[in-house]
Amino acid sequence: AQRVTQPEKLLSVFKGAPVELKCNYSYSGSPELFWYVQYSRQRLQLLLRHISRESIKGFTADLNKGETSFHLKKPFAQEEDSAMYYCALQPDSWGKLQFGAGTQVVVTP
Amino acid sequence: GAGVSQSPRYKVAKRGQDVALRCDPISGHVSLFWYQQALGQGPEFLTYFQNEAQLDKSGLPSDRFFAERPEGSVSTLKIQRTQQEDSAVYLCASSSPKSGSWDEQFFGPGTRLTVL
């Protein structure tokens, strides 16, 4: 069965410090991986997806098929990065998203 | 343009009542998804529509849950005889998948259902 694991419920970092959110998945095929973000009082929105190979708001994520991981990284955290982050797996191009439980990031000045 | 909208934003129901939650997707979006998000958890898939066809309802937790999208635009999620465990935020998302592409799902603000 497919599964997405985010081991950290809460990550507290200082402004300017690096931040890494862990995401591990289990799936027998080749899924697409996403990171979604939810800022305070806002709706869930796409941050980045593996297939685009983009860097959004300074965040990058590398797919490691050997370790089945898709960790999200940013070298210098900003206060506006404080939010809830969800890793998600999509097995089919049209299909449902399987989300992890989320990691709350708090960036303190 | 307008994003995905949902109504009501908040709903309080007494145990045993029926509720109906509405989703207005982005105009022209073919695909529509419903998710349930319990407190402290990530969203969990409930059901998926492509136009008016319900192609996947594997996530519906019981036969008390029913969804429809009769004209391929607005969708309604109905929960009959609500139970306390139905308390959650119900999210709707829409997308316009192109053949062979992985398209972004756009989420609504959610409906927070509290069953007393």
State the average pLDDT over residues B3-20: 97
Cis before B8 (ω within 30): yes
Nearest to B68 by CA among B86, B88, B48, B82: B48
Q: Do A96 and B91 touch (CB under 8 A)?
A: no
First to last CA, chain B: 37
Task: Count CB neighbours of A42 within 10 A.
Answer: 11
How many Å lie between the alpha carbon of B97 and the closest alpha carbon of chain A?
A: 6
Per-residue pLDDT at B24 = 98
**Per the structure block, which two tokens stand in for A90?**
């999509």
State the average pLDDT over residues B26-35: 94
> Looking at beta carbons, which residues of chain A come within 8 Å of B94?
none
Per-residue pLDDT at A31 = 84
pLDDT tens by residue, A43-52? 999 999 887 7
Is the confidence at residue A10, as pLDDT, over 80? yes
Option in B56, B105, B106 nearest A97 (CB): B105
Q: Do B91 and A97 touch (CB under 8 A)?
A: no
Nearest to A43 by CA among B55, B1, B9: B9
Q: Residue A92: which pLDDT band, with cuts at 50, 70 and 90?
A: confident
What distance in Å separates the CA atoms of residue A49 and residue A3, rounded to the nearest whole number?
A: 17
How many Å lie between the alpha carbon of B116 and the closest alpha carbon of chain A?
A: 24
> Looking at beta carbons, which residues of chain B come within 8 Å of A43?
3-4, 107-110
Q: Do A94 and B108 touch (CB under 8 A)?
A: no
Helices (H), chain A: none
> Looking at beta carbons, which residues of chain B come within 8 Å of A23?
none
State the average pLDDT over residues B58-75: 96
What distance in Å separates the CA atoms of residue A16 and residue A3, rounded to the nearest whole number?
A: 32
Q: Residue B97: which pLDDT band, with cuts at 50, 70 and 90?
A: low
How many Å lie between the alpha carbon of A45 and the closest alpha carbon of chain B?
A: 7
Per-residue pLDDT at B102 = 61
User: Which chain A residue is nearest to residue B36, measuring alpha carbons?
Assistant: A99
Q: Residue B77: which pLDDT band, with cuts at 50, 70 and 90?
A: very high
> Looking at beta carbons, which residues of chain B come within 8 Å of A95?
48, 56
- What mean pLDDT is reported for chain B? 93
- Residue corresponding to tokens 């999210």: B91
pLDDT tens by residue, A19-41? 999 999 998 878 889 999 999 99
Question: What percentage of residues in chain A have a pLDDT greater than 90?
Answer: 72
Nearest to A36 by CA among A24, A23, A46: A46
What distance in Å separates the CA atoms of residue B113 and residue B110, rounded to the nearest whole number?
A: 9
